[in-house]
Structure 1
Amino acid sequence: MTEPNTTKTTEAHAGARLAPRHPDTRLDSDWLFLYQQLPPEEWQSVDYGYKTSFWLSIHADIRHSQQTLNDISALYQAGKLTWADYRKHLLPRMRQYILKLHQHHSIEDQGYFPQFVRMYPQLKAGFEILDADHVHLDTLLADWQVLNQSLAVSETEDEALAAKLHAMIAEVGSLMSQHLSDEEDLVIPILGLG
């Protein structure tokens, strides 16, 4: 991957300061110089989509899986699923989701993020935020796995366990919403312009 020309800007965005997509972004405006050159509405365009679509599709899948877990949990909490159906639908999806997050973040931590920091040392602090998210997420996923294992052996309805799982799904979802948005705002322009 070659370093893009960071002085180039599109005419449509020359001089304009774009706001990150997440209202609570933790990214400093100084780190968004590539985001200014390749704004979100161009990420999947003909010129850039072949470089960015793989990463964005993985994130779309993570978001879809998170929403599915939210929906199943909410249905049970609203009394619209039996315990047996709740377990049947939630257990395999949780296992898959936890595995997917571990794999995705491991690849980023061991390969992509260090490479991106070498290319753009001025973005190191931004990637440190994403790395800290991964550490926090690993802790949450370990706790979630314990709850998941409890659910796997709980054939008798356990509303307290379901409430803990519901809270865990929400907590992970909140973290992932922030994390994926901040990550995309840093990473997708690197991929697209590289």
Structure 2
Amino acid sequence: MPATPQAANHAPSRLTPDLLYLLERLPRARWQAEAAHGTAGVWLSMHESLRQGQSRLQVLSQQWLDKKVDWMGFRQQTLPLLDAHLGHLHGHHRLEDQHYFPAFRRAAPRMAAGFDLLESDHQRIDESVRALHHLQGQLARANPAEAAAWQCAHEIARAALACGTLLLQHLADEEDLVIPLLALGAREQRAA
């Protein structure tokens, strides 16, 4: 299982203490030992994969903005990276919205406001994903001899960086709710 994010990568939670009662029982410091298996471990692996995809996109975006990669290089790397990352992100959120979050609401009704926040994040992230998909299409069709092609690359870079800020906060907050819920639930099932 990948390591949990370091403190520097985990912004302060937007979740109130009353929603984090399970995190108090299973804090992040114990996740490596107690949440490494089962669905909690899979969830953490998925989130690590999303973080890695976002990181690659952000590094490439910053390279473009810093003029360390040319337009053709940016386009060649960005198009498949956006396909993979945005597809993974959309699929993960769809599964959460349609399957996991409704089940979590039934299992832990005290956390409903937290899942409302996460679903609101999904809507905002989906807006960013749609905008990036639109820009991806423009980049794929762009003629590098035209100024619009260069502007499109700038817009993708800025949109990717902005999406990353929300996504990383969302992943951290989601983990604070979901990982203890999954890991403690699995522990209780094993004990029964």
The corresponding residue for 1:50 is 37
Deviation at 1:22, TM superposition (A): 4.0
Partner AA of 2:36 in structure 1: G
How far apart, in 1, do the equivalents of 2:165 and 2:93 lie? 17
**What does residue range 83-98 of structure 1 map to in structure 2 within 5 Å?**
83-98=71-86
Q: Determine which of 9, 17, 27 is the counterpart of 1:39.
A: 27
Contact 2:135 2:152 in 1 (8 A): yes
Q: Determine which of 63, 67, 87 is the counterpart of 1:75.
A: 63
Do structure 1's residue 189 and structure 2's residue 180 form an aligned pair? yes
Q: Which has the higher helix share?
A: 2
**RMSD between aligned alpha carbons?**
1.6
Could you tell me the percent identity over the aligned residues?
A: 37
Instruction: Note the residue ranges of structure 2 that are not aligned, 5 or more in a row.
Output: 1-6, 186-192
Partner AA of 2:76 in structure 1: K
Q: Deviations over 1:139-173 (max 9, x none)?
A: 11111111010000113153211111111001110
The corresponding residue for 2:125 is 137
How far apart, in 2, do the equivalents of 1:29 and 1:132 lie? 19
**What does residue range 77-156 of structure 1 map to in structure 2 within 5 Å?**
77-156=65-144
The corresponding residue for 1:5 is none
Contact 2:64 2:157 in 1 (8 A): no
Partner AA of 1:103 in structure 2: G
**Do the aligned partners of residues 28 and 91 (structure 1) sit closer, same or farther apart at CA in structure 2, a change above 3 Å counting?**
same
Do structure 1's residue 168 and structure 2's residue 159 form an aligned pair? yes
How far apart, in 1, do the equivalents of 2:84 and 2:11 lie? 29
TM-score, scaled relative to structure 1: 0.85
Contact 2:26 2:180 in 1 (8 A): yes
Partner AA of 1:175 in structure 2: L
Partner AA of 1:176 in structure 2: L
Deviation at 1:176, TM superposition (A): 0.4
The corresponding residue for 1:8 is none
How far apart, in 2, do the equivalents of 1:144 and 1:76 lie? 16
TM-score, scaled relative to structure 2: 0.86
How far apart, in 2, do the equivalents of 1:76 and 1:167 lie? 10
How far apart, in 2, do the equivalents of 1:48 and 1:63 lie? 19
How far apart, in 1, do the equivalents of 2:144 and 2:79 lie? 15
Aligned length: 174
